Amino acid sequence: MIALLRGELVQLGDDHVVVDTGGVGYEVFCHLRTIATLHSSHESPVTLYVHTSVSTDAIRLYGFVSQDELRLFRLLIGVERIGPKAALGILGRAELPTLVRAIAEGDVALVATVPGIGRKTAERVILELRDKVASLEPPGTHHPAVTSENQAVAAAIAGLVGLGFRESEARKAVAAIAVDGDGHDVADLVGAALRRLDTAGAAR
């Protein structure tokens, strides 16, 4: 069982990398953020924490830059109907702290925006993992009760990200709208946030 690879990065693909360790090239499947991180990193050798999947027709390696991402990946593939590809899609959706917080707080909208994962599957992920991700959070983390307002804000942020905005600017814009009290309907939040983002973009 391969648990860790350290070696020279010799190839970057759309969904995988090849790491040369002792003259042997290992194909390792990764999510897009990992590939982007490795692409921009100038460190050599690279280190990947690995999950080894053995099936009747192949042995596949899935690599992550941190042990916590590997742990969340293993939690995800333990959920019914979530295979390695879907789990990578979820992990590639946002930074690890954001994903952990979304699962812990019941943010179905964020998980459901992953291609190939519908709302029912996202709800299953939340239901099965929200109590299991606590070990991936900083000590003392507190989560507010889930309300319809929280859900609307989360859905609005996810919608803006789906339109191509960075998550950080989407969160900032929606938070400002919510504070201004311009309504908590998802469509209203998205519309008002878009106007705010367009105004900010025009001012640059």
The pLDDT-based confidence of 143 (bands split at 50, 70, 90) is very low
Architecture of domain 148-203: Orthogonal Bundle (1.10)
pLDDT at 179: 53
In CATH, what number does 4-64 get?
A: 2.40.50.140
Residue 90 predicted with pLDDT over 70: yes
Q: How far apart are CA 117 and CA 96, in angstroms?
A: 18
Could you tell me the pTM of the whole model?
A: 0.68
What DSSP character marks residue 145? Answer: P
pLDDT at 150: 58
Strands (E), 13-82: 16-21, 24-29, 46-54, 59-64
The CATH number of domain 67-136 is 1.10.150.20: yes
Using one digit for the tens of pLDDT, what is the confidence trace for 13-58? 989 999 999 999 999 999 988 998 888 877 789 999 999 999 888 9
Q: What CA–CA distances, in Å, run from 197 to 147, 169, 177? A: 25, 8, 11
| Residue 127: CA count within 13 A, CB half-sphere | 8
Q: How far apart are CA 15 and CA 4, in angstroms?
A: 18
Using one digit for the tens of pLDDT, what is the confidence trace for 152-202? 777 777 777 777 787 778 777 777 765 554 445 677 777 888 888 877 655
What is the residue extent of each domain of the chain?
A: 4-64, 67-136, 148-203
Stronger pLDDT, 126 or 115, i.e. the higher one: 126
The pLDDT-based confidence of 137 (bands split at 50, 70, 90) is low
Q: How far apart are CA 32 and CA 47, in angstroms?
A: 16
pLDDT at 59: 93
Distance of CA 124 to the CA centre of its chain: 16
Q: Bridge-partner residues for 26, per DSSP?
A: 19
Q: How far apart are CA 46 and CA 19, in angstroms?
A: 8
Please state the rounded mean pLDDT for residues 75-92. 93
Q: Which residues contact 143 (CB under 8 A, 6 or more apart)?
A: 101, 104, 105
Residue whose structure tokens are 């707080």? 105
